[in-house]
Amino acid sequence: MIYNLSGTKKPPSASCLPFFIDANILYHFHVNSSRAQSPKIQDFSNYILNLKKNGNTLAVCSLNLQEVLHAIERFEYDTYCSLNDISKKTFTKKDYRKISAERVNVKNKLEIAYRQIRSNYELRDDVLSSSNLEFFISDFDKHFYEPVDYFSIYTRKAESFYYITDDNDFQSDPFLQTSDNIHIIAY
């Protein structure tokens, strides 16, 4: 089932089911607040704060947390190249990783984001199995997911949960539109 924060099918504000938070939302809440004032991010923020206030379980998939940590490093690399007028064609992320001062800088930012996320959400492990990889490939023409998003949903599809995301790929999944145990909360 798919709920819409900005539409008529409003999601619940309380449930015994866990509410998983997608990587994009985590990133904008805990790392890069440049979009924090957008109405969409404000609606997500208010909704999640209300869930927390009501005592709901807020969770993060380990693959989504990995995606956030990767985005931090990518942002720092992009910033470094931009500030130093360096072409990414000649100076790769592997080159950037060899700069020890930048390594320390990125490590500090990773630790801060990790601690913030761990203190606000339960971390749930994802299991990446060969069968999940095979399903991803065999279903590839039926969905628009990036691998991380697909595995975050489908490794736990036997469970019941809510998944809060701003990613439209989830809304196009026919399985999720009719699922009784996986509930997508989108915008």
Tell me, what's the pLDDT at 8? 61
Q: What is the pLDDT of residue 1?
A: 76
Closest by CA to 124, choosing from 50, 187, 186, 66, is 66
* Percentage of the chain lying above the pLDDT 90 cut: 49
Q: Annotate 8-21 with b (16+ C-beta within 10 A) or e (fewer).
A: eeebeeebebbbbb
Dist. CA 151–CA 135, nearest whole Å: 10
Q: Which of 26-30, 49-53, 93-97, 158-162 has the highest mean pLDDT?
A: 93-97
Q: How far apart are CA 139 and CA 143, in angstroms?
A: 7
Helix (H, G, I), strand (E, B) or coil at 120: helix
Structure tokens at 59: 């969770």
Residue bearing the bigger pLDDT, 1 or 33: 1
pTM over 0.75: yes
Average pLDDT along the chain: 88
Given a cut of 70, whether residue 35 has pLDDT beyond it is no
Domains in the chain: boundaries: 2-186
What's the pLDDT at 138? 93
- Domain 2-186, second-level architecture: 3-Layer(aba) Sandwich (3.40)
